[in-house]
Amino acid sequence: MFEFTFASIMASMVASGIGFVFYKYGRRMGRSIFVIFGIILFVFPCFITDLNWLVGVIAGLCALLYILVKQGF
């Protein structure tokens, strides 16, 4: 059911680390979009254990955040 490999655990830690940085930045600067994406990046690795999906979701969320910030959110 769950496949915990070293690579998937490390990818989860990277996602949570990026989420922590986004969360702290958003709280400090008052940017709610960063806080929301930070919380999402904290939580979603608990539900996705496949490495390919994990890396894809991390990349997709970071790209979406980039696009939203460039749009003015």
In this prediction, residue 39 carries a pLDDT of 94
What whole-number distance in Å separates Cα of residue 21 and Cα of residue 13? 12
Is there a domain that residue 1 lies in?
Answer: no
Is there a domain that residue 54 lies in?
Answer: yes
What whole-number distance in Å separates Cα of residue 8 and Cα of residue 52? 9
Question: DSSP per residue over the chain, as a string?
Answer: -----HHHHHHHHHHHHHHHHHHHHHHHHT-HHHHHHHHHHHHGGGT---HHHHHHHHHHHHHHHHHHHHHT-
Mean confidence (pLDDT) of the chain: 89
Q: At residue 36, does pLDDT exceed 90?
A: yes
pLDDT digits (tens, 9 = 90+) for 45-67: 888 878 888 889 999 999 999 99
Count: domains in the chain: 1
Is there a domain that residue 40 lies in?
Answer: yes
In this prediction, residue 2 carries a pLDDT of 62
